[in-house]
Structure 1
Amino acid sequence: MNDDRPSPDALLAVAQRESHGRLKIFLGAAPGVGKTYAMLQAAAERRREGVDIVAGVVETHGRRETEAQLGGLDVLPARQMEYRGKSFREMDLDAILARHPQLVLVDELAHTNVPGSRHLKRWQDVEEILAAGIDVFSTLNIQHLESLNDIVEQISGVKVRETLPDSVLSSADEIALIDLPPQELIKRLHEGKVYVPEQAKRAVGNFFSPGNLTALREMALRHAAERVDAQMVDYMRTHAIPGPWPTRERILVCIDERVEAAKLVRVAKRAADRRGAAWVVVTVETSTSHTLTEADKDRISEALRLAQQLGGETALLQGDDVVTTVLDYARERNATQIVVGRARPRRWRIGKSVTERLFAESGDFNVFVVGGQDDEKPVPSLRRPKIKEKPDWINLAFAALCVSGATGIGFLIDRWLPAASISVAFLLAVMVVAMRSGLRPAIVASVASFFAFNFFFTEPRWTFAVSDTKNILTLVFFLIAAVIVSNMASRLRAQILATRESARRTTNLYDFGRKVTAAVTLDDVLWAVVHHVATTIHGKSLVLLPDGAGLSIAAGYPPEDQLDDRSAAAADWTWTHGKLAGRGSTTLPTSLWLFLPLKTARGPFGVLGVQMSEDADMPSPEQMRLLETLADQAAVAIERTTLVADIETARVATERERLRSALLSSLSHDLRTPLVSIMGAASSLQNYDDMMDHANRHELTQTIQDEAERLNRFVQNLLDMTKLGAGALKPRADWADLNDIVGAAVERTGRLARDHTIKVDIDPGVLLLCVDPVLMEQVFFNLLDNACKYAPPGTVVKVWARRTPNYVTIEVIDQGPGIPPEASEKVFDMFYRVDHGDSKAAGTGLGLAICRGIVEAHGGTIKAEPGLNGAGAAIVIHLPQSHDIDGLAARISADAEPEGT
């Protein structure tokens, strides 16, 4: 049944193209054929139609006739770029996007941009222009296609450096082939219309030889024809045209399990070569395919592999009607010829064979029948025949049992109902046999039911004679109904089994995807891969990954640590060439393992090795498809772990670079500033000591002391931060008075706080704390230093402390600009400083980071909050309060009382 609806994929592609600009490529075989000239002529025609056109970049190479075509076009100025001391002119992509014309001309699509440009290649610039909804005209030589790079080098001896992916040409909406015979192109070269005379002379002797140009011309014509053919197929799919349109020969080969399958493939290959046609080999998997013998399955698999080796496509189709499935696929691929084998002779045949039906229903297709069998004898299957789960005698015994049961039920029915009703019991028995045991036992049950019905329930009974004509008709129709029911029930059974097998494959893939998705590390992914693959094929599996010197076994199930030389050679070949190799393949088949490449779009990642169980030499076609899918998913999972590792490495490198930059900034500015002040003051003392009075000398020495202390603080902060990071800074806890700790910090602040007033308000209930007094003094010194640094002169800095049942709360409050809410956590990071636009507030950004490290080492917490009434900043510290503090305070009070009180 033909479906006249357009293909959803084709409609989606059309919808996507509507929102993008259209790309037209002027394709030539070599430089000088006139691609740029033809592009400018086409642009001039579009301009006369009123289209807004801009010349983004047009390379005239000094040709006067080409430059003349530029007249009247809006030419955007090129963007000047500097690279290694030289100036280069590149297309201004931003200017094109800002101008947003209807059509832009971009010459030399394969051009490589100057380093520093937004994109590496010009075709990437074109993709961005197309994404903005702007149409593009561009030019391309056939030798710049990536897939032809090695072929062009082999033909011409010239390595083309500038290439682009074939997908760029494939995605073009229109291709205009600009062709010129080799002799005319060489004539243009001699006339100086392609290169300057000296360069033209070298070109004729090398690249522009008649043989090279002829080969390049053939490749250009072939690729243009293939692209046009692909566009025609897309058009047919979009407009739901059933086809075929015989514009190009395309051969479809239909094979099955017969011996001549390999011969069909060879015949189709020879026919395709003679006609220069594309060809594809297909086999249809029906609901009864699982009943094929292992030899038949191997024969199909071998034929499909042979087709791949000979350069053809292969496809495995699903459907219950072979003819309909093949014809639908042939219309989808726009095939012109269908090649099939001769119908097998059958002694008993009901209905037409597949070949006869293809002749009758082929319509516009040409059907070719290949007669005879292959000259080679069928290769015996290397699989050991599997022991059937249910031998034939068991199925026949079950059929006899069901017929006997139906006979017994018939005797019960015979007491109340007419004899014709008894046939329902026998039909039910036949259906049960068909659904459980298949068609052959069901046919046997049908015949047995016929005779049992005749012998026991038709007159005269207990004989096979029939006296009544009505009973004869009843028996005949019963036999016909029984055969039909058995056939339908057996087909239903086959479909159920096929559906169950398909569900098993889907479940297998789902389970594998769930396992590898849940795996985090590379080892977990590899273990999930080898374990699942080994379970799937009931054999062994391993994964080999590159280790620098070659491939090594990264995981295996059952565990495997070495390979023999032949297997190792097969694995290396698979890794190098990215193709199947090893046991059962045509490459190094003496290997004990079959190897599949693990590769994604980023490239190869490793090799998957499988070894079947003892009763099989290699996977069946179904297992092979499943293995290939598992290999693809495994490669993606390995790629994911690699990307995660790369991202983590990049993150660590970025963080390291950030810390390095911050540290260098501190060393170059914050540490250099006091050094410059010290050096300046010391130099003044040395050079002008005799000319200075006591006040000036005292001021300079005071400057030296202040800056030296400032430098000492910076260095001490760096040392403390290093110790905290290494875990070497550990508190030496002892009982200490908070008043003494804060007082020592205030005294150290001294000259730093001479423009501020420091007030200390500590609740008398806060007696002693079990802390390291030296480290806690450093905490309060850093907090007071910060407060005095950012708070305006003349303001008050307050230290406030209160005791609660479980901890002591301490706050250092200033009246400065405060800390933004979004930076309340960042201020405790290393080298982070809040920018208030005040250049005099210099520092390394380590003070608060050191405070957090010391406080958290004491089991406390520190955070930044707004100051009083939302003005300024408050650094809040919570330190744990010892439960034994009350008893300690009581003992101290008792010891302090005078005797006799």
Structure 2
Amino acid sequence: MVQPIQKRGHLKLFLGYAAGVGKTYSMLQAAHQLQHMGVDIVVGYIEPHARPDTTMLLDGLEVIPPEVVIYRGKSFKEVPLDAILKRQPAIVLIDELAHTNVPTQRHRKRYGDIEELLAHGIDVYATLNIQHIESLHDMVEDITKIQVQERVPDQILDHAQQIKIVDIAPEELLQRLQQGKIYSPVQAQKAQQSFFTLDNLIALREITLRRVADTIYHKKYEENVAIAQTDEHILVGLSSSPTNAKVIRSAARLAQALHAKFTALYVQTEANSINKRLQQHITLAEQLHAEIVVIQDDDVAAALANFAKVSGVTKLVVGKTILRKNWWRFHLTMSERIATLAPKLALHIVPDEENQIKEKPLSLPAVKITPTDFMKMAVVFSITSVVGLIVHHYLLSEANIITLFILSIVILSLWTTSSFMPFISSLLAVLLFNFLFTEPKLSFQAYHQDYPVTFSIMFIAGFITTSLMKRIKSQQEMAVRKAYRTEILLEANHVLQQAQTKTMLIQKGLLQLSKLVELPIQLYVFDDKPTTHFVSYLALTEQQTTTVKKDLHNVNEQGVVNWVQLNQQIAGITTDTFPEAKAYYVPLVTTQKVLGIIAIPLNKAQPLPSFEKDILHAMINDFSLALEKEYLQQENEKAQKQAAIEQARANLLRAVSHDLRTPLTSIAGNADLLRKSSNQLAHTQQNAISEAIYMDAKWLIQMVENLLAVSRLEEGKLALQKEVELIEDLIKEAIERTNSYHAKHTIRYEVVPELLFGVVDARLIIQVLINLLDNAIHYTPPTSTITIRAYVKEQILIDVEDDGHGLDEATKSTIFKPFITGKKYTADARRGLGLGLSLCKTIVALHDGEIGVRDASPHGTIFYFSLPKGEIKHE
């Protein structure tokens, strides 16, 4: 079994404010110093710079060749991750931390490779430029007017154990650029006109120093318990707006500067949904250490203000696009409404002048009504018109007809799905009423001067009513969806607690997970023998089931499973690790090991929304805890069983030390007597001494056989070899093997019918009969008669009867327990271990039989046991 990683490596960053400051050179110099000190250090990947002084420093260092990847007909060099893991150096050097890997690689970004190396206990030295830090992206873009595409999460910098700023004066850097020490002459000329200007470099250098100083202070702040924690709480809203990423980064920088709690809130309304851009913004907020919260409300500004009030938010960061004021823009902006609703909340507004929205002439939104909604509208208004004509025929007032049309509008709002239906249905209702019921009829003219007011009120009443109904319907649907998912979470918790067995726990737990995501679920369980479990809440066709299992059961997916088990991290589709996988893999991690891995075949184009993802991981966490509880219970049972075995062994040792001493002493004494005085002893005396030695040896052999059988049973190594056996043969064999020490007892047997067959392990059943005969011989007076009877009822029944004094009731209840012995009537001093009857009970139970004891008539004892019947198959 793959063992999880325990030790984590350290990361040292060589940070610069621009290319060419000497990060790689400084890192290689440090490598030579460490190698000189005897540290096992290798070069994992160095960018092929055309700089002789840097290239020379590679001499003398062990370089692992880069992995060559062919992608779309082109050759790329990447970090040789598997080769480094196999080599297991103490330190590895990796250049260009912000690099984006070829899509076929294990990790989407190079920092993913570095994270895996760190997880395997390998220290990493890496280079990084300040413009690649995610939270500083907007600041760098404002300064350089260049959008940096390759960015890394702030946690890479924040979690680094060491940061070395590689710094030179901007003037010196420009001089190096002009000398061709950084880029080729053509590239250098372009760089000087854009990125490499003196003002840009000075600003980037200042940002670098400030960011590192803030990181160091933040670490000391966390370590110093004497400093009270800040009460600051920063909130930022999430949306699919193109400017939202800039707002999130600004909020993250503010939270970092204030050492504040950072929350990102997404307000889901009827009009919006989680799209690709919004999902990117949620991922960005997660990378910047924000806690993601999703709520449902139709009023975004009110939702932000209310959440800020109840959550103790001190500062709210919002974006604002610069717009020109026009006469039709009479409503308040988002920030103005929030300021009105939460006047005590500090607002930080992030303007976005560059993405200023161009003014467009006022236009109506696009009308999107499905053909089904048109059919429903036609049916409802046709029925309303017919009913209205009937009402009008009986000279009822027009108010009743207007009420009918408003009712039809309400029905349409509940029956249809289009958000534009309130406007269309209200307008059409007014037109139909005018056309059919006002003078002149069958025209859109109206003679009465009150009709324009009537039409307006009718339209407004219908529009407001249907709009409210639509909103209520939408809120109800969202509430039902949220309640449904919450109910699944609660139900899963209840189901996991009620599961009686591990199999039931797995089946019910996976069923709840499948019910939540509405997809099939596969679980890999890593027991002594790894197993897989496939469950789907939705009914799948045989072809669909085969396709899903085929996607999950291949070499590539098994490689992902092995990686997740080893690294204890989430991987697969929608992640940056194995993004081309067919499923989303989540490890079930406990305090001791990885118990299993959940595989969910998600749709790459439609990742799980944040709210559903949170519930999914909460359910998986509950499932993991339930499995861990079951695992610990099994381990506890094993420990108790092992303790019982150890105790039994200790008891055996104590018993053996006592009970072997008497026969061994007797054998040694008699043998010594024969050795020293054989010439002085009569022939009859010599025979008596030899017989005594033989009897003691036979007794020892019988006891050793019992001890070996007990030992094999305790260790679970006593395998049954059942065959069809003739019962009479087994009885004869047992009597023959006890002949040597039952000379004064009479043993007889009866078998009805004579050809009585049983399905047994002959060796073990003979052992049972010998133990029962031995028990009868040693615990009955001499000259007693022992009878063995074998007969058939539902099973084969075998009785071993003696005519001794019998057993009292107290002894009957404990006679089959180990180390229980009765009062002997034989003259020898061998006490016995009391293992024979206990062993008999175990062997009979392995044959699905029962063993017991009862009184014989008029006196004596009957030990009886049952065995399964058998028959000879004739060919």
Q: Same-fold call, TM > 0.5? A: yes
Q: CA deviation at 1:332?
A: 4.4
The 8 Å contact of residues 342 and 372 in structure 1, kept in 2 or not, is answered as yes
Structure 1 residue 440: deviation in Å? 0.7
**Structure 1 counterpart of 2:664:** 675
Task: Write out aligned runs for 1:246-261 (5 A).
Answer: 248-261=231-244
Match of 1:834 among 820, 841, 865: 820
Which of 542, 550, 553 is equivalent to 1:559? Answer: 550
- 1:261-307 alpha-carbon deviations (Å, 9 max, x no partner): 21221111111222222211111234x1xx535xx532332222111
1:714 maps to 2:693: no
Distance 1:789 1:317, change over 3 A: farther
Partner of 2:863: 875
| 1:407 and 2:385 matched | yes
Q: CA offset at residue 367 of structure 1?
A: 2.7
Task: Indicate which of 433, 449, 455 corresponds to 1:475.
Answer: 455
- 1:420 correspondence with 2:399: yes
Check 1:734–1:840 CA distance in 2 against 1; reply closer, same or farther (3 A cut): closer
Mapping of 1:655-674 within 5 angstroms?
670=659, 673-674=662-663
In structure 2, C-alpha distance between the alignment counterparts of 1:152 and 1:467, rounded to whole Å: 82
Aligned residues: CA RMSD:
5.9
- Rate the CA distance shift 1:802–1:370 in 2: closer, same or farther, 3 A: closer
Q: Judge conservation of contact 2:264–2:292 (CA < 8 Å) in 1.
A: yes
Q: Could you tell me which of 839, 846, 863 is aligned with 1:849? A: 839
SS at match of 1:282: strand
- Distance in 2 of aligned mates of 1:543 and 1:786: 54
Q: Is residue 722 of structure 2 the alignment partner of residue 733 of structure 1?
A: no
Q: Within 1, Cα distance between the matches of 2:218 and 2:320?
A: 41
Contact conserved, 1:734 with 1:770, CA < 8 A, in 2? yes
Q: For 1:112-261, what aligned pairs fall within 5 Å after superposition?
A: 218-222=221-225, 225-226=228-229, 248-261=231-244
Does structure 1 residue 366 correspond to structure 2 residue 346?
A: yes
C-alpha displacement of 1:421: 0.0
Query: What CA distance in whole angstroms lies between the structure 1 residues aligned with 2:658 and 2:222?
Result: 64
1:166-207 Cα deviation digits (max 9, x unpaired): xxxxxxxxxxxxxxxxxxxxxxxxxxxxxxxxxxxxxxxxxx
Q: Secondary structure at the match of 1:685?
A: helix
Q: Which runs of 5+ in 1 are unaligned?
A: 1-146, 156-212, 227-246, 378-387, 884-901
Displacement of 1:631 in angstroms is 4.9
| 2:864 partner letter | V
Alignment of 1:311-330 (within 5 A): 311-319=289-297, 322-323=300-301, 325-330=303-308
The reply to whether residue 704 of structure 1 matches residue 690 of structure 2 is no
Deviations 1:682-732 (A, max 9, x none): 113323556778897676445323312322433565688889944457675
1:309 deviates by 0.9
Distance of 1:270 and 1:707 partners within structure 2: 90
Aligned counterpart, 2:468: 488
State the Cα deviation string for residues 613-658 of structure 1 (Å, max 9, x = none).
Answer: 47x2644445544654565466557657866875787678668767
SS of residue paired to 2:236? strand
Letter in 2 for 1:225: A
Kept in 1, the 8 Å contact 2:663–2:696? The answer is yes
- Superposed CA offset, 1:44-88 (max 9, x none): xxxxxxxxxxxxxxxxxxxxxxxxxxxxxxxxxxxxxxxxxxxxx
Query: Residue deviations 1:430-449, cap 9 Å, x none?
Result: 11221223331221110111
Relative to structure 1, is the Cα distance of residues 573 and 788 closer, same or farther in structure 2, using a 3 angstrom cutoff?
A: closer
User: Does the 8 Å contact 2:551/2:582 carry over to 1?
Assistant: no
In structure 2, the partner of 1:265 is 248
Distance 1:825 1:335, change over 3 A: farther
* Aligned partner letter, 1:453: F
Secondary structure (helix, strand or coil) at the match of 2:347 reads: strand
Specify whether residues 770 and 439 from structure 1 end up closer, same or farther in structure 2 by C-alpha distance, changes over 3 A only.
closer
Q: What letter matches 1:410 in structure 2?
A: G
Q: How far apart are 1:846 and its partner, in Å? A: 2.9
Secondary structure (helix, strand or coil) at the match of 1:439 reads: coil
Q: Separation in 1 of the partners of 2:869 and 2:457?
A: 100
- What residue number does 2:586 align with? 597
Structure 2 residue aligned with 1:452: 432
The farther-off stretch of 255-264 and 479-488 is 255-264
Tell me the distance in 1 between the aligned counterparts of 2:742 and 2:292: 87
Deviation of 1:250 (Å):
1.4
2:276 paired with 1:276? no
**In structure 2, C-alpha distance between the alignment counterparts of 1:426 and 1:731, rounded to whole Å:** 89
Give the conservation status (yes or no) of the 8 Å contact 2:706–2:835: no
Q: What's the CA shift string for 1:843-865, capped at 9, x where partnerless? A: 361356348857997x9753134
Q: Which residue identity lines up with residue 437 of structure 1 in the other structure? A: T
Query: Which structure ranks higher in relative contact order (CA pairs < 8 Å, sequence separation ≥ 6)?
Result: 2
User: Quick one: structure 1 residues 393 and 598, their matched pair in 2 at CA, closer, same or farther if it must change by over 3 Å?
Assistant: same
Q: Name the SS for the 1:342 alignment partner.
A: strand
The residue that corresponds to 1:171 in the other structure is none
What fraction of aligned residue pairs are identical, expressed as a percent? 20
Aligned to 2:140: none
The runs of 5 or more residues in structure 2 that have no matched partner are 1-154, 164-215, 358-365, 535-546
Q: 1:564 deviation in Å?
A: 8.9
- Does structure 2 retain, via aligned residues, the 8 Å contact 1:736–1:769? no
Q: 2:852 aligns with which of 851, 863, 876?
A: 863
Indicate the larger mover: 414-423 or 688-697: 688-697
TM-score by length of 2: 0.56
Distance 2:392 2:603 in 1: 56
1:284 partner SS: strand
Distance 2:500 2:727 in 1: 49
Q: Is this contact kept in 2: 1:337–1:368, CA < 8 A? A: yes
Letter in 2 for 1:733: L
8 Å Cα contact 1:252/1:330 also seen in 2 = yes
Q: Which amino acid aligns with 2:402?
A: S
Tell me which of 284, 288, 295 is aligned to 1:310.
288
1:259 CA drift (Å):
2.6
Q: Are 1:666 and 1:844, in contact at CA under 8 Å, matched by a contact in 2?
A: no
Q: Is the 8 A contact 2:440 2:446 kept in 1?
A: yes
Distance (Å, rounded) in 1 between the aligned partners of 2:652 and 2:238? 72
Specify whether residues 323 and 751 from structure 1 end up closer, same or farther in structure 2 by C-alpha distance, changes over 3 A only: farther
Q: Which residue of 2 aligns with 1:333?
A: 311
| CA–CA separation in structure 2 for the residues paired with 1:475 and 1:568 | 69
Of the structure 1 ranges 249-258 and 422-431, higher mean CA displacement relative to structure 2 is found in 249-258
Cα distance change on mapping 1:574 and 1:712 into 2, 3 Å: closer
Conserved? CA contact 2:734–2:769, under 8 Å: yes
8 Å Cα contact 1:396/1:441 also seen in 2:
no
Distance in structure 2 (CA, Å) of the matches to 1:743 and 1:634? 59
Partner Cα separation in structure 2 for residue 570 and residue 746 of structure 1: 64
What CA distance in whole angstroms lies between the structure 2 residues aligned with 1:618 and 1:775? Answer: 62
Whether 1:357 aligns to 2:337 is yes
Establish whether residue 439 from structure 1 lines up as the match of residue 419 from structure 2: yes
Amino acid at match of 2:249: R
